[in-house]
Structure 1
Amino acid sequence: MDEQAATVVQFPHPGAEHNPRADDVPWNVDAHRRKFLRCPGRYVDADNELHDAEVVFWGEWEAPSRVERRWPACGQLPRALHWPHWIRPTADGFRQNTDPWVFGDHMFYSNCKQIVGPDRLRTSMQDLPIGSFLCFGSTIDHEFCLDTVFVVASSQPWTPAEIDDLDVDDAFAVCTAASIIAGGTDAHARFALYRGASIGNPVHGTYSFVPALPAGENGPRFARPAIRLPRLVLRLS
């Protein structure tokens, strides 16, 4: 697999913002959405120096969260700032899973668009070579707006039923693997679990990241950046 040419994937996913009425946000049982999040992380500044700090960024987090701040509507800027947390659900029933997973020591891409149809046929998204770039983003005002760059460092086959055999933390096991099953997918459906390259363990000098800012005292907000790369990233209607 390492000898294959790396692939660039423009990966569109739903871009509407979670903007709940209540500040305590439960598990998402509706369509996928994005949240503007604050949590501990690491960021690289303009001088290419690495810092540990709380950061704010756009991401997918379908587990519970707490709204810490709200802003009035202003263009594509976020309207709510969420602090992510999770619990083990006490009730059965549908809930959304979180993918890509941008938390912890490694990012993961685990299931979205990897199988299709009632027969759960595998797609080419299970065969990405090492070093491939996945540009996750959403169509906003006819522009492709980025929230995650995922660089493939490794992959392994997996099923949600076998999650206890994998080197992942409890948060991923509950918020993604168990939620795939809760969402109605066969627990034995086969997927590829991709680990993302990190700044400490890059692939050919590249690593996974999310556009982010230090959280600071004022809770800065920003719109997702529009990406214009002719012949690589397409404008979408």
Structure 2
Amino acid sequence: MPQIVQFFHPGSQQGAGNKNHRELEWKKLDKPHARKFLKATGIAIDKNNEEIHDELTFWGEWEAKTKFQKTKLNIEEQVDLGDLSEEEQEKEKIKNKDVWPKNIFTPIYPNGQGEQNTDPIVFGKNWYYSNCKQQKLKKILEDGSIIIFGSAKNGEMIIDTVFVVDSSEEYGSRDLTDEKLLKKLAIDPLKEIPKNDPNWKAKNGDEEFDFAPLRLYTARKYSKDNKKLFSFVPAKLYNAALEKCVFKRIPLNLKEKFPCLEWYEEPHGGAAMNVYVSDVDVNTRNKIWDYIKNEVLQEGLLLGVDFEEPADK
């Protein structure tokens, strides 16, 4: 029986400060994960099931070095306040706070050694979910399960990645020599935690990071042979006129649409770092995937299904 995982990770978007050099360094281990509004060349599927090969924008995670450009967008330009009263306008502004991208980040190939890991990884031939909060799953996810990565906002889940599990395996069960991006973004930073975490030695002595409790999950991707149940991120075509390529994360009404799913009770942040796993039958799993896909397309967005790795320069 497959599972539906509602995976809540930190929803705050990555800031860039007032840096003039337009590059953001690899994040340190003591800094929390954050969402970035990313730009990359890739493939997307539109509402007519046609493939689009172009530069795309989307919400995701990339903790290695990036270039960035500020969007300089005003919330009033993105939210229709209409004839609302001043009080209603303030409520609407609060509701939309931190959901519109302030910067567009372009990943830089991760040469060198960084501290904070990236998870999930949606670049390259394979997409991976490698480690984050796996102890909270309390079970091995079946192939065909869906991990919905998102964040809590206004009592709803705003999503960034829909990850359909194709397979999973224990670390060490296969050769990852050719998976250079996975090693640089996730495995190597995890190995270096004992050195980079000042509290590690007090808790664990001289022990190395233990991969044994973890599994490496590989995503089921879109292909000519698989057009019905695949991993995707909501995406949009990049445009130099930045106001035309930005979008806020899509809120899902999963609690009411699918009451069979486990859900959190605290409407204001109680889910911010939690994971909810529900066993469902295949028919329900398919309905949930269809619902999310349709919600994304109805917002005028695309399904981003493949993204090129940054060039190794």
Q: Which residue is equivalent to 1:132?
A: 145
Letter paired with 1:170: K
Q: Does the 8 Å contact 1:197/1:208 carry over to 2?
A: yes
Tell me how far 1:109 sits from its aligned partner.
0.6
SS at match of 1:51: strand
The answer as to 2:117 corresponding to 1:80 is no
Deviates more, 1:66-75 or 1:48-57: 66-75
CA distance in 2 between partners of 1:202 and 1:153 (Å): 14
CA distance in 2 between partners of 1:174 and 1:7 (Å): 29
Q: Which residue is equivalent to 1:149?
A: 162
CA distance in 2 between partners of 1:80 and 1:110 (Å): 27
Tell me how far 1:142 sits from its aligned partner.
2.4
Q: Which residue is equivalent to 2:48?
A: 47
The answer as to 2:191 corresponding to 1:181 is yes
Q: Which residue is equivalent to 1:119?
A: none
Q: Which residue is equivalent to 1:217?
A: 240
Q: Which residue is equivalent to 2:124?
A: 104
SS at match of 2:67: strand
Identify unmatched segments of 5+ residues in structure 1: 117-122
CA distance in 2 between partners of 1:202 and 1:148 (Å): 21
Q: Which residue is equivalent to 2:3?
A: 7
Aligned residues: 220
Identify unmatched segments of 5+ residues in structure 2: 76-95, 195-199, 201-207, 269-313
Deviates more, 1:36-45 or 1:215-224: 215-224
Q: Which residue is equivalent to 1:60?
A: 61
The answer as to 2:14 corresponding to 1:18 is yes
Higher strand share: 1
Tell me how far 1:218 sits from its aligned partner.
2.1
Q: Which residue is equivalent to 1:34?
A: 35
The answer as to 2:176 corresponding to 1:166 is yes
String of CA shifts for 1:160-209, please: whole Å, max 9, x gaps: xx88x226531221111111122348444221111101111777930000
**Change in 2 beyond 3 A, CA 1:7/1:86:** same
TM-score by length of 2: 0.65
TM-score by length of 1: 0.84
**Change in 2 beyond 3 A, CA 1:225/1:54:** same
SS at match of 1:226: strand
Letter paired with 2:211: A
**Change in 2 beyond 3 A, CA 1:152/1:44:** same
Q: Does the 8 Å contact 1:71/1:78 carry over to 2?
A: no
Higher helix share: 2
**Change in 2 beyond 3 A, CA 1:168/1:77:** farther
CA distance in 2 between partners of 1:66 and 1:135 (Å): 27
SS at match of 1:124: coil
Tell me how far 1:89 sits from its aligned partner.
2.8
Instruction: Report sequence identity in percent.
Output: 31
**Change in 2 beyond 3 A, CA 1:102/1:87:** closer
Q: Which residue is equivalent to 1:196?
A: 219
Q: Which residue is equivalent to 2:307?
A: none
Q: Does the 8 Å contact 1:228/1:234 carry over to 2?
A: no
Q: Which residue is equivalent to 1:120?
A: none
SS at match of 1:134: strand
CA distance in 1 between partners of 2:45 and 2:262 (Å): 24
Higher relative contact order (CA 8 A, sep 6+): 2
CA distance in 2 between partners of 1:73 and 1:61 (Å): 25
Select 1:226's aligned residue among 227, 244, 251.
Answer: 251
Larger Rg: 2
Q: Which residue is equivalent to 1:208?
A: 231
CA distance in 2 between partners of 1:45 and 1:233 (Å): 31
